[in-house]
Structure 1
Amino acid sequence: MPIIIPQNLPAAETLVKENIFVMNEHQAIKQDIRPLQIAILNLMPTKVVTETQLLRVLSNFPVQIEIDLISTETYESKNAPEDHLKNFYKTFNQIKNKKYDGMIITGAPVEKLRFGDVIYWKELKEIMNYTKYNVTSTFHICWAAQAALYYHYGVHNYVVEDKIFGVFEHRVLNPRSELLRGFDDVFYLPHSRYSEMHRDEIEQIDEIEILSDSDEAGIFLVASKDGKYVFASGHAEYDPFTLKLEYERDIAKGLDIHVPKNYFKDDNPELDPIVRWRAHGSLLFTNWLNYFVYQKTPFDINEIK
């Protein structure tokens, strides 16, 4: 079934070329189906790239999905075209009286800052509080996972000396978890961050569980036992060249950055990347939509609580 997106959204052209079924709002309104309502709070500076990545991994679900793209009011991206934000994004004030079956909150390149020093921290706290009562399940990515674990449960994040950067081997810690249904015992996913969470803090909280980790990348996947919140420290949504572009950007800035591990063929940045996470990345989001959103959300969306 299709992803329902705003008419003329730039991501549509890319997705159609990949044979991903997308439908605009005018087409969808003719069908007598209640699509899942999913909000994406996009905190990444590369708005269009992130939109496309997330729509791609959401597209394999068999139920229609209608997307609202959300941006912060307290900070306006310097990289996203103003017209793009005006035409395709809503603010929290515009949607705060609406309920959603699911929400995704993306990462942001602010993990070296204390949470309270992030310009939009107050607004983000308001949004995370909103998800308690108005969203069936919220999926937090990378920095947003750390921010939400801190906000909801008081789990701290810690800056690391060397960037956790590359494609790392992970293990399944709870094979009975619905989020990891169909996963191999060992799988690979990308990470790109300067901070981490500590296992001992998470394990002290009865309401949440560590579902997957990595010897090199640390804690990857945490979820509340009721499925209300999912926290992923890595980037299951990344496309093949995202780490390459991030590496080249950091090199151009003169940063002391190492080649992303297990990413380029023979670890040579002159060669093409090897994609070894696409299937598991897509499966993770499909499982979230199925088991934590679709099967738990009420038929009447106004009954979400």
Structure 2
Amino acid sequence: MINTDTIVIDDPDTLVQVCGPNDRNLKQLEGLLHTRIYTRGNEIHLAPENSEHSSLFESILNDLLFSVKQKKTPNSYMIETLFQYYTGENPLSDGKEFLTHEINIPGGKGRIIPRNLNQARFISLMENHDLSIGVGPAGTGKTFLAIAYALSEILNRRYRKLILTRPVVEAGETLGYLPGDLTQKLDPYLKPLFDAMEEILTTAAFQKIQDMKLYEISPLAYMRGRSLKNCIIVLDEAQNTTQEQMKMFLTRMGEGSRAIVTGDLTQIDLPCKEKSGLIHAAGILKNVDGIGFSSFQRGDVVRHPLVKKILEAYEQEHTN
């Protein structure tokens, strides 16, 4: 039961989940609303002197109740995102749309639930576009979400194969000669993709897709001349493609295929004379029907809390 300034929750377990451990969720909401929230039995109250926040209080608590019904435990990311939704620009049509977006992977370690509005929007774009391009700083979950969505599509047998690719460009240093066969030489460049797959899948599921040859990891340089039919293709670190490479990649899409491109425009490792293919493509393809663009910001960082502060410090140094 929900009233303007009071929420009554009859189920004790639901009440505990909404309030959080030691009322952590309510304390966070107090900080965001700059007002007092208190509990009395099975009731959650907004302080009467702050009734101007009634609508926002009601909307967020209503959505937290909805999340519990969806078997999603309210957390700090969810509360922050709902607050941003109701007080800022809305990239999705309503707050509950954020709460219903998720990636379910057969054999996965759990549901992949977006931690902010832009992650939810990126999932929506991947679901509804044959080509999705996600751009943003490190730590915003671009690669993780792209691979999670692609694995979900493969394990649900909607596509024949998953193709994972990256440009082989060294980040500011020359590694020189690398020993071993082609796979061993490429492993350092493609390891982040394996890391994401291992984080998402159980050992059994990972072994299954290996045994069934449901995925392929390929350097971008080896994509020329291929026509990839009924595949889902992920191009990571796309900021390090040249214009020619990006055009070549995008034209590999065959009948029944879907492609996802991710990149960080603040970490371009190309020689100075080369213009990033991702920047070029974003400029000329922004109005093409069937292509979805998603932009992540520094505020969307979901890695260690220090990552956001580090990015901010580098941005300030760059502008000074």
TM-score (norm 1): 0.29
Higher-Rg structure is 2
TM-score (norm 2): 0.28
- Of Structure 1 and Structure 2, the greater helix share is in 2
